[in-house]
Structure 1
Amino acid sequence: MVMGNSHLFMGRSNKLAVIASHLQESRLLFPGKQWQCGDLTGESAVLESNVSGSKDGKYELLSAANDLIADEIKDLMTKTGEIKGQQTDTVLAGSLAKALCYINRISKETKAGEEVKSRILVIKAAEDSALQYMNFMNVIFAAQKQNILIDACVLDTDSGLLQQACDITGGLYLKIPQVNSLLQYLLWVFLPDPDQRSQLNLPPPVHVDYRAACFCHRNLIEIGYVCSVCLSSKNQVYFL
């Protein structure tokens, strides 16, 4: 929430969308359904619901956004069904696709002559899912075609898929050495826009794991077989 508030404070025209990627669904936390369709920042809706102003001195938009995000997260966790086994992967590809759709909506609703510079920040604490490899790569190349940067802030184990996403789209990939310093890295590394990053001393690029997932078992492989017809990669050869 501090990262989102800081982004909104950086410029009057800045907009924010927060999407939760969970085990069973991806949900748009902010802006919520109660915001007006024509108001992508939700500011007019906040002013309508807080006519008397904020009593504690907070900016109404930030205060309402924080409350809405917290309520949506609680509702998402409450409605989560029983988790079987030790499943920790999320529907990340679907969440990224939803983010691209939201960016496309904003781009179409902007005035003529205005340019929208969008970027996506993924804060990841779950494991990669090789089953989502094809969908994930489609989302990455769609973002590259629209000149949308994908940044990744990884809290747990390294993510080969996000390394590829950041390298292809020109974003930054960073595995946090200490979770206690998460806010510091978010504000230092990911808050500045791409034009400002060239003037900062940022962490060096990481080695990208470009292993592909086989089509037969969805496992990441280093050496495989490529079909000459459909160009799919496999880790086994089947003779008929």
Structure 2
Amino acid sequence: MNNIVLPSEKTPEITSTDETSLLVIILDSNPSQKTLRDNPHVLTQCVDSVIALANSHLMQKAQNKLAIMACHSKTSQFIYPGPEKPLDVRQIDGQYEAFTIVEKTTKHNLAKLLLSENSTVITESLLAGAIAMALCYIARIQRTKPPGAKLNSRILVVTGSGSSASQYMNYMNVFFTAQKQNVVIDVCALDQHLSLLQQGCDITNGLYLKVPQLQGLLQYLLWVFLPEPPVREKLVLPPPVKVDYRAACFCHRELIDTGYVCSVCLSIFCKFSPICTTCHTVFKVPAPLTVKPKKKKIKI
């Protein structure tokens, strides 16, 4: 998180006092995802669907704002607006110029990011760090709005990676930060259910959806995630799934049902330890239970 690259353009100012909606889309482009390993062409379909969703968001209202991020195995970057100067894109007949800029800029910066990845080591996606960067971007735009303007901010995560218990603390930090900032987190899972991201959706009152078929990804994005949170109450959306609120232990980074909690720093462990590895607090080892000897009956 020390090498955060934010868009080079000036902070987008909100000059209108009308209600504005800001959508930050996080696209997981890590090639180690199972869906991409089996069929690399799925990434092209996901990118096209995300761009269509982004343009539909901008088409709803002229005041709407948009940002797209690519989450990789070693870094997370803004691909729209990119860290470099905006591309000089020629207008295509029959297409709105703003939509052309979103499409060309997103594909150009994503291709540049994928070509810069030379490592063949399979590592997990840095989704927690990407969400933290998105929250920083939202907080920066929040400071530019004029008095009386209302900004509805939300984050959409599109990923095919599995849940990573090693990032448990990072996930919890960004989830409760988003809840404090009134930022809704939505998750679109492409391959398997993600228990930690389910918790984030439930904490921030967002939507979680496991896509049944990748062929209908665009339809699910437009149907479920395009409407803003105030409008969703009036729509018939997929019923919420049961949230798995199991915590991950700090020793093995695995989800557990029952564990030991440090009374000082609230760290969770799957086995008892006399010393907390997080805050180094020393606990008294519980003494074994003493068994009272049974009284012998006196024979008469």
The one of 7, 14, 18 aligned to 2:68: 18
The one of 49, 57, 64 aligned to 2:101: 64
**Relative contact order: is structure 1 or structure 2 higher (C-alpha 8 Å, sep ≥ 6)?**
2
The one of 202, 211, 231 aligned to 2:266: 231
The one of 76, 90, 102 aligned to 2:113: 76
Distance change (3 Å), C-alpha of 1:220 and 1:112: same
- Unaligned stretches of 5+ residues in structure 2: 1-50, 276-300
Q: CA deviation at 1:82?
A: 1.6
Q: Does 1:169 align with 2:219?
A: no
- Which of the two has greater helix per residue? 1
Partner of 2:294: none
The one of 195, 205, 217 aligned to 1:160: 195
* Amino acid corresponding to residue 188 of structure 1 in structure 2: W
Partner of 1:41: none
Instruction: Name the TM-score, length of structure 2 as normaliser.
Output: 0.72
Per-residue CA distance 1:3-38 (angstroms, 9 max, x = gap): 000000010000100011111110111112345xxx
The one of 100, 115, 125 aligned to 1:90: 125
CA contact (8 A) 2:79 2:105 kept: yes
* Amino acid corresponding to residue 102 of structure 1 in structure 2: Y
The one of 181, 185, 196 aligned to 2:216: 181
Q: Does 1:111 align with 2:146?
A: yes
Per-residue CA distance 1:49-108 (angstroms, 9 max, x = gap): 46xx72423211110111111011111111113232x54x20001100010011011111
Per-residue CA distance 1:161-198 (angstroms, 9 max, x = gap): 11000000000001001111110010001100112111
Q: Does 1:202 align with 2:237?
A: yes
Instruction: Name the TM-score, length of structure 1 as normaliser.
Output: 0.89
Give the percent of matched residue pairs that are identical in Structure 1 and Structure 2: 49
Alpha-carbon separation, structure 1, partners of 2:258 and 2:270: 7
Partner of 2:291: none
| Number of residue equivalences | 225
Partner of 1:30: 80
Alpha-carbon separation, structure 1, partners of 2:113 and 2:252: 31
CA contact (8 A) 2:92 2:100 kept: no
* Amino acid corresponding to residue 106 of structure 2 in structure 1: I
Partner of 1:191: 226
Partner of 1:7: 57
Alpha-carbon separation, structure 2, partners of 1:150 and 1:79: 29
> Which consecutive aligned stretches of 4+ in structure 1 deviate over 3 angstroms post-superposition?
none
Q: CA deviation at 1:229?
A: 2.0
* Amino acid corresponding to residue 65 of structure 2 in structure 1: K
Alpha-carbon separation, structure 1, partners of 2:222 and 2:157: 14
Distance change (3 Å), C-alpha of 1:232 and 1:106: same
Distance change (3 Å), C-alpha of 1:23 and 1:34: closer
Alpha-carbon separation, structure 1, partners of 2:261 and 2:238: 36
Alpha-carbon separation, structure 1, partners of 2:135 and 2:265: 27
Alignment RMSD, CA only? 1.5
* Amino acid corresponding to residue 154 of structure 2 in structure 1: R
Partner of 1:129: 164
CA contact (8 A) 2:175 2:200 kept: yes
- Unaligned stretches of 5+ residues in structure 1: 36-44
Distance change (3 Å), C-alpha of 1:239 and 1:34: closer
Alpha-carbon separation, structure 2, partners of 1:144 and 1:113: 21
Q: CA deviation at 1:222?
A: 1.1
Alpha-carbon separation, structure 2, partners of 1:207 and 1:96: 23
